Amino acid sequence: MKSVISIDSIADLNHAIEAGVNEVIISTKEFSRLGKFPIADLDKAIELTQNAHTDIVFNWDILMTDDMFMQQSLEISKLDLKKFKAIRLQDPGALEYILETTNYSVQWIVETGNHNLIGLKSWVSYIGNKLDRLVLSIEIPKERLQVYLQELSCDTELLVLGRILLFYTPRNLLTPLYHDHDDKKMQPIHSDFLMASGNSEESPHKGFPIVENRHGTYMFHIKDHYLMENLPELREMKLNYARIDLSELSLLGQVASMIKDGVADKSFKDIYPKDVIRGFYSVNKTDILFKKLKNHRIQRQDKNYRGKVLESLKESHLAIQVQQGKINCGDQLKFISPEGKMKELEIKNLRNIAGKDIESLEEGEIGLIKYHSGIIPMTVIYQNE
Amino acid sequence: MTKSVIPEVLSPAGSLEKLKVAIKYGANAVYLAGQKFGLRAAADNFTYTELKEGVEFAHKHDAKVYVVLNSFLHDKDLEDIEEFISYLNEIKVDSLIVSDLGVIKSIQQYSNIPIHLSTQASCLNRYSGKLWKKMGVERLILGRECSLEDAKKIKQATGLEVEMFIHGSMCMAYSGNCVISNYTQGRDSNRGGCAHSCRFEYSIQFNEEEQRKHSFFMSSKDLNGLRVLEDYIKAGIDSVKIEGRMKSHLYAGTMSKVYREALDYYREHGNFLSEKLEQWSQELEKVSHRAYAPVNLKQKAGSDTIFNERLIVKDQYKVIGQLMDKVDGEFGLLHVRSAFLPGDTLEVIPFRGEAFEVKVDKILTLNNEEIEKSKPSTLVKIPYHPQMEIINLVRMRLQA
């Protein structure tokens, strides 16, 4: 298993080479969402990595509206990126542009969405022999990851240590809080990153790192993603590349070494400077709570459905609306209230809204039946089998 | 002179009732979800029978039905999709709204239903459009970050139909690029579980010495594109989309009516030079909303598009209910959502034209008993008006 890290400067690059990292991602401030690497230092970076036999990748991972895309693609076309192993992309437009106008290899970031094999295989097929790698989502649980790593015919990468990006917007959300300004007169200029910590006042979550730069605003998880103890099984699954995203590089040598050997050193967590989580690596149950989001008792079931109760007037009547089929005098109906109470009744009398006795109610019509306690508005009505 | 194409009005239908409301009030098309695969797990959504009924109702009224399958699906979610797609094919839905390449491929395997690319896929530029066209997509629902100028160029470059949001709540993040709910609430925002964490209040601190600043810094103002509707037409937008499957009947009806009437006016006159523009604008103010902004439509959204408040803009009107039935010459039967009193003047919103007033001198139950105050979830008789039609929405102005 090989190690990958995004670097911000020549000093970081030297550090990465010294630490034995296999591949560096050059994230420039112009083309990368969180990059700081000066574009003027690209040649120097190429030279250093060539000498060290370290792979070098160019990062163009921002998402771009059309006007911005046309500017960016023009600038990209002026760069000679042939000496980079690949170009790293997330915007489908950037992918299409690179495939159509260059011979560069592509590292395709499928970290958002792309949680099924059919889709992943379709990307592999579409990009064809220009695909260097798929960068997979950390929301994929290991049981599925194992399948993907067997089934996909390309190299794969996963974040094993570092920040979890929760939110990405092109809007500048921190600037208005940082100083008063009128952005009609002044476009904020981000010579450096604006950084802050955010506490949710409505949930127990405190200390979200928030970053704003020229490309937008980003919020990260309070804890870092940490699969360092799962390196042996990731190696066994044949993950090709393990990505590291460290805010501070003093531990880089140790991390790169653990990745290379595929070993789990449990004591490493003790010296890691941030709280960590494994996210959805063990299991992803983020759809389990959905069934609690609505009251299924008042939700219509198709079979034998007849309608619902609109009004319950004590000691007088129930007003019902037929929504499917027909209700006749003599029908046996089942009523299920929003609280889950069930009553079975025979319809002995029916009246229309003008108060006249009728024999049946057609679809869409409203009628009155005798009041029964416990049956309230929103109660759903079924024909009894 | 080339005749402008007038875009369709595409309205949300969170339930079968809302579908009928939206279409009766002028929507040319509605979008809705089945019980699975959409992005609003908490919405009522449609059962199989409701879907069939909804499609039949829509087609009978010359409207289309687009079904959303725009979750980012996991493998196990895809297991049930064949049956669902086959059913949608059978009942002749008009298109499927999809964001996930795996879902696109599955649809193509099981049906020929046209595919519209969901805004969730964040298609933002012409090359992205070209890629999705090659994947078999027939319409692009552009990312909400796109301007109208972007949209025009994407349409020209791809030749695909283009749909853009015109009204409603806005995601602050690039759609599909927010997983706050996943990690903080255990609910996948990209599979229907969004907890709207961007609407929460946060306290922000730039350094430890500084006092924390309280702010709803991630909350966006609502989009309102009425004043630039002509630019949508000139950009060649095929469909103007109203956000809000979770929103009320009044919202679905009012939005459909306003945008349809405005576009019909343009079709007839070729301009919006009418005092009606102000009336339509006022109608949009009468529905619950956050402060409005054109957001990204004309220029990149600035700090004035952040809605730094918890509450929505104070309502001018309240929803009173919906007309369920009538006896000509005698009474209208109102299903009450909010209470009102004898002496109140209600406004009934017709499917076309201006709202008309109904002065309620007395409120009668179905038993003709006079009551002092109407109660929610009851049926009451209100005075008959010849313009009344079943499904009409009823509202009342709130005291200033």
Which of B50, B176, B213 is closest, CB to CB, to A300?
B50
Chain B (115-134) residues lying within 8 Å, Cβ to Cβ, of chain A? 120-132, 134
- Residues of chain B found within 8 Å of residue A199, distances taken between Cβ atoms: 202-203, 205, 212
What residues does B46 pair with on adjacent strands? B34
In whole angstroms, how far apart are CA A115 and each of A135, B32, B81, B372?
12, 23, 15, 57
Cross-chain residue pair A290–B47, CB shorter than 8 Å: no
Going residue by residue through chain A, which has 385 residues, state the pLDDT in tens, using 9 for 90 and above: 999 999 999 999 999 999 999 999 999 999 999 999 999 999 999 999 999 999 999 999 999 999 999 999 999 999 999 999 999 999 999 999 999 999 999 999 999 889 999 999 999 999 999 999 999 999 999 999 999 999 999 999 999 999 999 999 999 999 888 865 555 544 555 677 899 999 998 888 899 999 999 999 999 999 999 999 999 999 999 999 999 999 889 999 999 999 999 999 999 999 999 999 999 999 998 887 766 666 677 777 888 999 999 999 998 999 999 999 999 999 999 999 988 889 999 999 999 999 899 999 999 999 999 999 999 999 999 998 7
What secondary structure letter does DSSP report for A5?
A: E
pTM: predicted TM-score of the whole model, two decimal places = 0.94
- Residues of chain A found within 8 Å of residue B190, distances taken between Cβ atoms: 112-113
CA dist., res. A220 & res. A165, Å (int): 5
Give the number of residues written for chain B.
400
HEC letters along B179-208: CHHHHHCCCCHHHCCCCCHHHCCEEEECCC
- Residues of chain B found within 8 Å of residue A120, distances taken between Cβ atoms: 102
Query: Which residue type does A301 have?
Result: Q
Cross-chain residue pair A65–B367, CB shorter than 8 Å: no
Cross-chain residue pair B183–A289, CB shorter than 8 Å: no
H or E element, residue B215: strand B213-215
pLDDT at B1: 42
Cross-chain residue pair A122–B101, CB shorter than 8 Å: yes
What secondary structure letter does DSSP report for B372?
A: S
Contact predicate B99/B69, CB 8 Å: no
- Residues of chain B found within 8 Å of residue A353, distances taken between Cβ atoms: 325, 327, 333, 366, 379
Cross-chain residue pair B187–A94, CB shorter than 8 Å: no
CA dist., res. B195 & res. B233, Å (int): 35
- Residues of chain A found within 8 Å of residue B120, distances taken between Cβ atoms: 113
- Closest residue in A to B172 (Cα–Cα): A169
Does any CB of chain A come closer than 8 Å to the CB of residue B47? Answer: yes
- In our burial notation (b when 16+ CB lie closer than 10 A, e otherwise), range B63-81 reads bbbbbbbbbbbbbebbeeb
Q: Which residues contact A192 (CB under 8 A, 6 or more apart)?
A: none
- Residues of chain A found within 8 Å of residue B193, distances taken between Cβ atoms: 286-287, 289-290, 293
Name the nearest CA neighbour of B294 among B216, B376, B222, B198: B222
ipTM entry: 0.94
What secondary structure letter does DSSP report for B3?
A: P
Min Cα separation A212/chain B (Å): 11
Tokens, residue A300: 């219509």
- Residues of chain B found within 8 Å of residue A166, distances taken between Cβ atoms: 178-180, 183
- Residues of chain B found within 8 Å of residue A205, distances taken between Cβ atoms: 184
Contact predicate A382/A330, CB 8 Å: no
CA dist., res. A45 & res. A226, Å (int): 29
Does any CB of chain A come closer than 8 Å to the CB of residue B213? Answer: yes
Residue with tokens 């459909």: B256
Query: For chain B, which residues score pLDDT lower than 50?
Result: 1-2
Cross-chain residue pair B105–A122, CB shorter than 8 Å: yes
In whole angstroms, how far apart are CA B148 and each of A190, A334, B12, B231?
26, 53, 22, 7
What residues does B356 pair with on adjacent strands? B348
- Chain A with chain B: Cβ pairs closer than 8 A: 299
- Closest residue in B to A173 (Cα–Cα): B217
Cross-chain residue pair B333–A366, CB shorter than 8 Å: yes
Cross-chain residue pair A201–B201, CB shorter than 8 Å: yes
- In our burial notation (b when 16+ CB lie closer than 10 A, e otherwise), range B358-369 reads bebeebbbbeee
- Closest residue in A to B367 (Cα–Cα): A355
What is the DSSP track for A15-31?
A: HHHHHT-SEEEE-BTTT
Cross-chain residue pair B186–A285, CB shorter than 8 Å: yes
pLDDT at A293: 65
Cross-chain residue pair A66–B124, CB shorter than 8 Å: yes
Does any CB of chain A come closer than 8 Å to the CB of residue B73? Answer: yes
Cβ neighbourhood burial of A362 (10 Å; 0-12, 13-18, 19+) = exposed
Which of A93, A168, A279 is closest, CB to CB, to B125?
A93
3-state secondary structure of A357: strand
Name the nearest CA neighbour of A159 among A189, A136, A126, A182: A136
What secondary structure letter does DSSP report for B265?
A: H
- Residues of chain B found within 8 Å of residue A183, distances taken between Cβ atoms: 302-304
CA dist., res. B29 & res. B239, Å (int): 9
pLDDT at A385: 78
Neighbours of B110 (CB within 10 A): 16
- In our burial notation (b when 16+ CB lie closer than 10 A, e otherwise), range A171-191 reads bbbbbbbeeeeebeeeebeee
In whole angstroms, how far apart are CA A165 and each of A69, A224, B214, B296?
23, 10, 22, 24
Min Cα separation A356/chain B (Å): 12
Contact predicate A89/A107, CB 8 Å: yes
pLDDT at B273: 87
Cross-chain residue pair A305–B75, CB shorter than 8 Å: no
Q: Which residues contact A188 (CB under 8 A, 6 or more apart)?
A: A172, A175, A181
CA dist., res. B267 & res. A174, Å (int): 43
- Residues of chain A found within 8 Å of residue B333, distances taken between Cβ atoms: 353, 366
pLDDT at A199: 94
Name the nearest CA neighbour of B223 among B321, B137, B119: B119
Does any CB of chain A come closer than 8 Å to the CB of residue B182? Answer: yes
- Closest residue in A to B217 (Cα–Cα): A173
Cross-chain residue pair B74–A115, CB shorter than 8 Å: yes
Min Cα separation A244/chain B (Å): 20
Cross-chain residue pair A279–B304, CB shorter than 8 Å: no
Min Cα separation B268/chain A (Å): 32
First to last CA, chain A: 62
Handedness of CA A348, A354, A360, A366 (dihedral sign): negative
- Could you tell me where the beta strands, DSSP code E, fall in B299-384? 317-327, 331-336, 345-349, 356-359, 363-364, 370-371, 379-383
What secondary structure letter does DSSP report for B281?
A: H
3-state secondary structure of B6: coil
CA dist., res. B289 & res. B382, Å (int): 28
**Mutation site for B-interface testing, chosen from A98, A286, A309, A371 by largest number of B Cβ within 10 Å:** A286
Min Cα separation A30/chain B (Å): 18
CA dist., res. A352 & res. B170, Å (int): 45
Which of B75, B127, B145 is closest, CB to CB, to A144?
B75
Q: Give the up-direction half-sphere exposure of residue B190: CA atoms within 13 A in the CB hemisphere.
A: 29
Does any CB of chain A come closer than 8 Å to the CB of residue B333? Answer: yes
Which of A171, A196, A319 is closest, CB to CB, to B301?
A171
Q: Which residues contact A216 (CB under 8 A, 6 or more apart)?
A: A33, A168, A169, A170, A171, A172
Q: How would you classify the pairing of strands A155-162 and A241-245?
A: parallel
**Mutation site for A-interface testing, chosen from B106, B177, B374 by largest number of A Cβ within 10 Å:** B177
